[in-house]
Structure 1
Amino acid sequence: MALLPSPYNRLLIPIYLPSLLMAVAHQAMFLLLPLYALELSGSAAFAALVMGLRGFGVLFFDVPAGVLVSRLGNRLVLISGLTIISIVMLLLAVVSAEWLIALLVIPLGAAHAAWFLGWLSHITVSCSPNERGRATSVIAGIQRFGAFAGPLAGGFIAQEFGYSTAFFIGGGIAALAALLSFLYTNNINSSKTPNTNHYKTIVNIFQSNKKIFSTAGSVALIFQFMRSVRQLLLPLFGVMVGLDAAKIGLIYALSAAVDMSLFYPVGIAMDRWGRKWTGLPSILFFIIGFIVLPLSQGFYSLLVAGILLGLANGLSVGLVQIIGMDLSPPGVRGEFLGVWRLISDSGWAIGPLLAGLMVDLASLSLASFSTAGLGLAGGLVFLLMVPETLSIARKRSKNKSE
């Protein structure tokens, strides 16, 4: 570890290794959950509902997770999230009732919120503004490797051995990640004021940051909306053009490979020149990808759309989290990041549900074209109304040091 440059040397074992294991298991779920729900019910709308309920679980627990991070510290919240993810995956392996599947994905989402706030708080406190892009982009790169390896392995295992086997293996991997976090992750963000009225703190954060949340927050929401709809529509379009789980998993994995290849240079660019330098091109490629997606006719044309969307996702690697870190005020970082996650994760929850409604009432194509239009609106807000947050964070850090 001593040979690694900062901040990687501080984060390798306590954050990066557990995140690598967790990413493989959890990212596989993004492919397997809608396909499993579709197989059980025969309804694309039910598959969208399942993904939307998982997003609701994330949304529901974002702010409580931020409060718990401030009160209990990042370590306990992070480990608890990983443990619950493992338990839910193991339960998914043994149940087949549609209502149980829909019920279980809610705590799966809530546990993801806890895990996410745990590592996000750890990096925010332990890294300077000039390190956050690189530190967070590695986490995002790890998640993208998980999005490459997870769906590829998950699709193969589900095709050859069944969905239950895939869920069992995913649960075991997540359990190993929880064990590593228990052994090696330190508690660096425990609250020094446990009697703080966190409800009043949350209300004050909303009131004092209205402009930030209405501009930068709306851009974060739209980014997450596009990402969640991408994860839903790509496999569903694969089914529509007649591909099996293994071929859909291959497209998903190749898209993730493009995505994953960008995390290191994007992190450097964001730390050196600013967050907008990669965020704005990302939105442009999202728009193009969602326009191309409904034009797919088979494996290769769907692969083109998947690669475009992977490029879009890679150019904004860690962007939403980094902007939240830049804007988070000292003293109430946990609560602010919880609120920030609540706003951005609204996109995860709303995306699949709204897309599913459009699929049910109209078509997959309408859902894709509408998402492209929303991306255009978000790009204009980002370009014209959101200041460069790296400059804000650098100024705040300089004032603190003085």
Structure 2
Amino acid sequence: MVYGPTAIYSLGQGAILPLLPIISREFGADLATAALVTAMIVVGQLCGNLPAGWLVPRLGERYTMALASAVSLLGIAGMLLSRHLGVLMLSVFVIGLSAAAFALARHTFMTTRVPVAYRARSLSLLGGSFRLGAFTGPFVSAALLAIFGREQASIWFFGACLVVVGLLVTFGPDPEEKAAAAARAERTARRDERTAARDEAVEPEDTGEAVTGSIPTSERLGIFGTIRRNRGVLSRLGVAAASLSFVRASRPAILPLWGLSIGLDSSTIALIVGIAGALEFALFYASGQVMDRFGRLWAAVPSLILMGGAMIALAFTHDVSAAEMWFGVFAVVIGVGNGLSSGILLTLGADVAPKQSPAAFLGAWRTITDAGGALSPLVVSGLTAVASLSVAAGGIGVIGLLGALAFIRWVPRYVPRR
């Protein structure tokens, strides 16, 4: 009940993402507009993180996920029934909004309920659940296309996944309630122990003097109050995390374009990128093991060094005689580097989130990291247009190495070893 709904949701979403440009073309969109339709998922997530941070503390994790599934179904209905490109874009945007609320609800639950000793492993599994959709979704959509011959079959599949998720989180066992009941039982046991110890001790004499000190209270902050209070960590460690998200998001833009520019056919490019993706997916739990045993830096810094260094090295191989071989080598290195960072953004967000209002903070944290990912394709496109694809790859690599330095600077300050 913790990972199952996440995996099902991401599987359905992963099945429609590769087909959004094709569906857009059926509505008469040109290439630029088709790319914009696909980008509306990311735009929706960016716009949905902060409202989700307000919603989760009020509805709870379970009902937020149920509501997100229901609203996503409205987006699915819009995609199936729309006859206009604007309606299609709005529907995809709504799905992105709902995805932000769904992901933040699960992230908040893991932050508040999972013990620190194996927080990274649990959040790496959560990251792996999200990656499952990106990895297997295209295979599902390809199978549905082979069977039904229409792109709408994948939309119906996503709708079926949403129905299953909604039923699971609404009527299935609620992990949030179970964790809360366990925490209440633990507090009751500790209170009983303290009461018993007090009863055995000698009561102090009442002198009639005033008791000094204050009664601790829980201050309730809103979204912007939480951001203001935590602006230091968000502007430092948050920006470092955004650099990792930036480098990650450059891979789907850089690698296929690089393969085309050196003369590879589509099937060879798909094979190389697929092998790199398989290695990336296979390493997601190893990342959590490394973070829990050795610390967060041992996942974040090697990941950025591998990805950034491979991007810089790739920039110098475009015109060499063995360009195809180097493309395969560095694509695999980038995949390994990304696999080693699985769950790091979720884990660092959980580490630095305030205990009193984690959802509001995590909404801001996810907005910053998602913004890094959303900015990356624009930078790749701009550098390629102004200079060349090699310059774009080198620029991405430099940002990755700078991000590694930022992690070395700020992680020890905000996330000390425990």
Which category of TM-score, normalised to the shorter sequence, fits these structures?
0.7 to 0.9
Partner of 1:202: 223
Partner of 2:199: none
Which residue among 333, 351, 357 is the counterpart of 2:358?
Answer: 333
CA distance in 2 between counterparts of 1:387 and 1:376 reads 18
Moved more, 150-159 or 319-328: 150-159
- The structure having more radius of gyration, on CA atoms, is 2
Counterpart contact for 2:233–2:414, Cα < 8 Å = no
CA distance in 1 between counterparts of 2:151 and 2:260 reads 17
Partner of 2:61: 74
Moved more, 70-79 or 285-294: 285-294
TM-score norm. by structure 2 comes to 0.77
Counterpart contact for 1:27–1:150, Cα < 8 Å = yes
Counterpart contact for 1:152–1:250, Cα < 8 Å = no
Amino acid at match of 2:370: D
Is 1:221 paired with 2:221? no
- Deviations 1:198-255 (Å, cap 9, x if unpaired)? 7x533332232232112210011112222223234445556665645x7665554433
Partner of 1:5: none
Partner of 1:277: 298
SS in 1 for 2:295: coil
SS in 2 for 1:174: helix
Q: What is the CA-CA distance between 1:168 and the residue it aligns to?
A: 2.5
Amino acid at match of 2:156: F
Counterpart contact for 1:243–1:299, Cα < 8 Å = no
CA distance in 2 between counterparts of 1:266 and 1:306 reads 19
Partner of 1:6: none
Counterpart contact for 1:136–1:322, Cα < 8 Å = yes
Partner of 1:167: 155
Amino acid at match of 2:299: T
CA distance in 1 between counterparts of 2:160 and 2:293 reads 39
Q: What is the CA-CA distance between 1:136 and the residue it aligns to?
A: 0.7
Matches within 5 A, 1:255-334: 255-291=276-312, 303-334=328-359
Moved more, 24-33 or 138-147: 24-33
Query: Which ranges in structure 2 are unaligned for 5 or more consecutive residues?
Result: 181-217
Structure 1's 166 and 265: CA in aligned 2 closer, same or farther, altered over 3 A?
same
Amino acid at match of 2:162: A
- Deviations 1:252-285 (Å, cap 9, x if unpaired)? 4433211121122221111111111011111012
Q: What is the CA-CA distance between 1:349 and the residue it aligns to?
A: 2.6
Q: What is the CA-CA distance between 1:154 and the residue it aligns to?
A: 2.6
CA distance in 1 between counterparts of 2:279 and 2:357 reads 36
CA distance in 2 between counterparts of 1:272 and 1:304 reads 29
SS in 2 for 1:386: helix
- Deviations 1:3-33 (Å, cap 9, x if unpaired)? xxxxxxxxxxx22111121222223344333
Q: What is the CA-CA distance between 1:361 and the residue it aligns to?
A: 5.3
CA distance in 1 between counterparts of 2:372 and 2:40 reads 12
CA distance in 1 between counterparts of 2:85 and 2:326 reads 32
Partner of 1:345: 370
Which residue among 160, 166, 187 is the counterpart of 1:178?
Answer: 166
Is 1:368 paired with 2:393? yes
Q: What is the CA-CA distance between 1:367 and the residue it aligns to?
A: 3.7
SS in 1 for 2:3: helix
CA distance in 2 between counterparts of 1:162 and 1:290 reads 37
Counterpart contact for 1:87–1:171, Cα < 8 Å = no
Partner of 1:120: 107
Partner of 1:379: 404
* Percent of pairs with identical residues: 29
Counterpart contact for 1:33–1:47, Cα < 8 Å = yes
CA distance in 2 between counterparts of 1:208 and 1:34 reads 41
Partner of 1:230: 251
CA distance in 2 between counterparts of 1:150 and 1:362 reads 34
Moved more, 311-320 or 167-176: 167-176
Partner of 1:193: none
Counterpart contact for 1:61–1:114, Cα < 8 Å = yes
- Deviations 1:37-65 (Å, cap 9, x if unpaired)? 5786452x445433443222111111110
| Root mean square deviation of aligned Cα | 3.3
Query: Which ranges in structure 1 are unaligned for 5 or more consecutive residues?
Result: 1-13, 191-195, 395-402
Counterpart contact for 1:291–1:368, Cα < 8 Å = yes
Aligned length: 372
Partner of 1:111: 98
Counterpart contact for 1:34–1:47, Cα < 8 Å = yes
CA distance in 2 between counterparts of 1:248 and 1:36 reads 23
